Amino acid sequence: MQSIYRAYDVRGIYPDEVNAESVKKIGRQCARIFESGKVVISQDGRHGGAELRRAFCEGLLEEAGRTGREFELIQVPLSTSPMFYYLVGYYRASGGAMVTASHNPKEYNGIKAVRREGDSVMFVSGTEIGAIEL
């Protein structure tokens, strides 16, 4: 099986490779990366998007309780990736996550995360999120 990690996102077949459990772990890790503040979370229209969005939020908030960080979630149930990036800037969010598999076939889903100013969270193994075990 090919790794679900890409340089700037995580993508794989839903729910075999990317599922609520794996995305919840990514949410926990993002709670350690993002500064306290607003966090934008959105999804595109792919199958499983709502479940993955909820799982990311659960992981983020659970870990926030452990780290002492506080997050105000701004949930956008449906958007495009460009709209998501715009909203992160518009709300001056400390970070955000977009549930999407970009141009991949319909059986895929995934997630991309950004920090304040739209800087991507790195997903490749050995850095930031890629170091966690899914």
Write out the catalytic residue numbers.
Answer: 102
Question: Which phi and psi angles does 61 have, rounded to 5°?
Answer: -70, -35
Q: How far apart are CA 89 and CA 45, in angstroms?
A: 22
Q: How far apart are CA 4 and CA 67, in angstroms?
A: 27
Q: How far apart are CA 83 and CA 93, in angstroms?
A: 14
Q: How far apart are CA 27 and CA 129, in angstroms?
A: 10
Look at the block and give the residue holding tokens 């919840």: 24
